[in-house]
A and B are shown apart, each in its own frame.
Chain A
Amino acid sequence: MVLLMIEELIALAIGIVAGLLGSMLGLGGGFVIVPMLTFIYGVDSIKYIIFVSLSSIILTSLMSTVRYYRLGLLREDLSAILSVPTISGALLGSLTIRILKPTMISIIFGIITLFALITLIFRKGSESLSISFNGYVSRFALGLIAVAAGFASNLLGIGGGLVYVPALIFIAGQPIKEAIAVSVSLMSYSAIIGVTNGYVNNLLMSSIASSTALGVAIGAYLGPSITSKLRSKTLKTIFIAIAMYLSLRMILKGLGLHVP
């Protein structure tokens, strides 16, 4: 019983860190939760961990959608248009995760995280780079990207913001805050399909998932007020260094190599 409580407290702490970093860096919780829990439970448990991450994404998505709505930043029409392709991608991701081996998922996650971290390092004022496509081409491209985001979300336990946000900025010409608002509102469509997949296949660790979700909610709520008092550049550097180590570790572990 005591050991179980310790597990849940660790999950709560990881959730708080994920929520804080997510609100500070604009990344979803998945990029923090999955590598950290994989570090604790091992690569073989990655499928369970993905469903823990998706559970917390539902909560983050709901709370952020309500917050962005209150701020008047939510574009509900874009959210409606992109919902169907997101669901299609999520379904494909749910079917794929069943057949892939945990080691393969670990390698894919590690590579995607490394890519995300590199874009985080080089991210600059992106609104000036906006490309204007004509109507049908841009809608088709956005639809394909939403399919990819839904797929990545359910396969890797991430929100998909890494895919949605640049697409909404570059293709739909949305300002960054509106793009983030649409992105978080779409996450719950794919996450609930993923969580159901975990639930019906008995892969949902509900005690860890609920603790992590509570932690993420607390972290995301306290994030803006705490991070404004901290030196965000230093924190960002520390986070990137740790996340790079964790993602490289996931790749090497996936390849069957011994890593400390």
Chain B
Amino acid sequence: MKFEYFIFILMTVLVLITSVLRDVGRNLFYFTLLTLSFMQILLIAALNIKRKRGSHGILTLFSLVLVMIIIIAMFIGVI
């Protein structure tokens, strides 16, 4: 299946869930976006490593860790 079609189906399901079940939908929508963005960052890291640019791959993983730290800090109310 094409990647775009997967996204369309995923988003359509989310639209239906968020319009019926507000709170569950809100959480599901946020964690889906979180997963998708982490997937994208991991994709860039993997591509860097695949093309033998190890330092850039590690830098991308460092960025991922940085994003995670910021997100956790926001959740616990530090920032």
Asked if A188 is an interface residue, CB under 8 A from chain B, the answer is: yes
CB within 8 Å for A206 and B56 given contacts A200-B74, A214-B8: no
CB within 8 Å for A189 and B63 given contacts A76-B51, A218-B8: yes
Binding-face segment, A38-46, A60-68, A129-137, A233-241: A60-68
CA distance A132 to B75 in the complex (A): 43
CA distance A95 to B73 in the complex (A): 12
CA distance A43 to B75 in the complex (A): 27
CA distance A77 to B55 in the complex (A): 9
- What is the chain B residue whose CB lies nearest that of A69? B47
* Contact A185–B44 (Cβ < 8 Å): yes
* Contact A83–B60 (Cβ < 8 Å): yes
CA distance A213 to B36 in the complex (A): 13
* Contact A62–B74 (Cβ < 8 Å): no
CA distance A58 to B34 in the complex (A): 9
Asked if A195 is an interface residue, CB under 8 A from chain B, the answer is: yes
CB within 8 Å for A62 and B30 given contacts A76-B53, A80-B57: no
Chain B contacts to A: CB under 8 angstroms: 3-4, 7-8, 11-12, 14-15, 18-19, 22, 25-26, 29-30, 33-34, 36-41, 43-45, 47-48, 51, 53, 56-57, 59-60, 62-63, 66-67, 70-71, 74-75, 77, 79
Count, chain A residues at interface, CB 8 A: 47
CA distance A127 to B70 in the complex (A): 36
* Contact B74–A197 (Cβ < 8 Å): yes
* Contact A62–B15 (Cβ < 8 Å): no
CA distance A243 to B59 in the complex (A): 38
Asked if A178 is an interface residue, CB under 8 A from chain B, the answer is: no
A87 touches which one: B3, B51, B66 (CB < 8 A)? B66
Chain A residues contacting B74 (CB-CB under 8 Å) are: 94, 193, 196-197, 200
Residues of chain A from 51 to 108 with CB closer than 8 A to chain B in the complex: 55, 58-59, 61-63, 65-66, 69, 74, 76-77, 79-81, 83-84, 87, 91, 94-95
